[in-house]
Every structure is written in structure tokens, then in C-alpha cells.
Amino acid sequence: MNAPLLAQTRCGDCPIRHRAVCARCNAEELGELDAIKYYRTYEAGQPIIWSGDAMNFVGSVVSGIASLTQTMEDGRTQMVGLLLPSDFVGRPGREGAAYDVVATTDVVMCCFRKKPFEDLMERTPHIAHRLLEMTLDELDAAREWMLVLGRKTAREKIASLLSIIARRDASLTPGGATNRMVFDLPLTREAMADYLGLTLETVSRQISALKRDGIIELEGKRHVTVPDMRRLMEEAGDDSDGGFLG
């Protein structure tokens, strides 16, 4: 769904409604959010915000994926996170952005004017509580990703990323997660290599190996079917509940 179509969509009908920061809002509060929101689209490769820039908005990713990147003084960059649909961008109470946020794919963002959103948070504690929950989930994910990057093999890294994307995609669709997952991979293999600290050749080789072994099925380069999520999670070094194995 693109921004012009979404602009006519009320918050209660938003595709990320049940996972976003507004998940627990009642009809009156959704009406207040409607009054301060606007949608923006970003093409793949376009910056959403640069580190250190003043942010006059906060918001949620509605569709697409964005990357969080830090740049060192000598110009080297490191991708430190991905923003998937329903993830929150910006920090209420903080003037500037902590990271470069760049659209990895075409992205639609639901943006809220920052000051009115901060005012609404003060009057509506469960919005603040939901944002805290999301921030803690983000912290947990960052800690888990340290394990992925630091200790896992190339095959486990690819399987982990596919598992994360599959489960997030399922969480946004009716019926939720099942043992058989079908989704479109939103990242190019080059972006996967950058994020995982691998070469493009290694990513391609490991995806081909997972396909050959029946862990995944591919239609083209992006349409992925996982016949058995338990097998994929075993390949990732995860248990059946999604946690990391010791």
C-alpha cells in the first residue's frame, strides 16, 4: 500500500495497527493520532534521517525495510540494525537522530509530528508503556544479533535472518505464524551480505545450499517458501520457541 492510499486510511484500519506503538489506543486516542499523522514514502537508497540531524517527527515503518547505520570518523560504516514493518523510528524527548536511517527497499512511513506526539504520550500512559515494550524488544533483538554476528557460521547467519523476516512477516498477516511460511524476501543479496558481514558470494552460496537441502524453496530470487520452520530454526541454531540454543 502506498502513501496516497494510506493517507485516506484511518489509524484503526492500518495494516500494522496491532503491532505498532498505537496498538492499545482506543477510538478517541486513534482520532488524536489521526490528527497529527502524515505518510511519507522513500525510495530504496534514500535517507530517512541522518545521524545528528534534528528530528521533527517520530513514526512507524508501515511497509518496506530501512537500515540503521553508524559511520566512524574515518568514513567506515557499519549497519547496526534493520527496521521492519511496525518498528518505531525516533525517540521522544531526544532532539537528534542517533543513527543514519536509510531506506533499504521502498519504504512507507507513518509519521507523527513530534511535539504533539510527546504531548499525547504524557496524557496517555499506555502509549508510553507500549513504546517502552518495543524499546525493550529492540534491545533483546540487538543482543541476540550480537550472537548471530559474533558466533554463528555463515549458514546459521543466513538461516537466522530468513527466520527473523519470516516470523515478522507472519506477525503482520491474519492467521499468524504456521510451520509452513511463504514470504517475499525484502533484501537484496548485497544488502544481506552487508548486514551479516559476509561476502556476496558467500550469501549466494549458502542460500543455494539451503535450497538444495530442502530447507527453503525459491521462486526467482525473492519469493521464499519455508516448508518446515522448525528445520529452518534448527539451521539457525534456534530452538522451536525462537530462542537461541546454548
Task: Give the whole-angstrom CA distance, residue 66 versus residue 85.
Answer: 9
Sign of the torsion formed by the C-alpha atoms of 160, 161, 166 and 171:
positive
SS (H, E, C) 153-188: CHHHHHHHHHHHHHHHHHHCCCCCCCCCEEEECCCC
Model pLDDT for residues 101-154, shown as the tens digit of each residue? 999 889 999 999 999 999 999 988 888 888 898 888 888 877 877 777 778 899
Cβ atoms of 232 and 159 within 8 Å: the answer is yes
3-class state of residue 67 by DSSP:
strand
Question: What band does 159 get if pLDDT is binned at 50, 70 and 90?
Answer: very high
Does 174 score more than 80 pLDDT?
no
Question: What band does 240 get if pLDDT is binned at 50, 70 and 90?
Answer: very low
- What's the CA dihedral at 24, 139, 167, 14 to 10 degrees? 30
What's the average model confidence in pLDDT over 11-37?
84
Tell me, what's the pLDDT at 158?
A: 95
Write the DSSP symbol of residue 245.
Answer: P
Model pLDDT for residues 64-97, shown as the tens digit of each residue? 999 888 877 887 777 788 898 899 998 888 888 8
Tell me, what's the pLDDT at 243?
A: 40
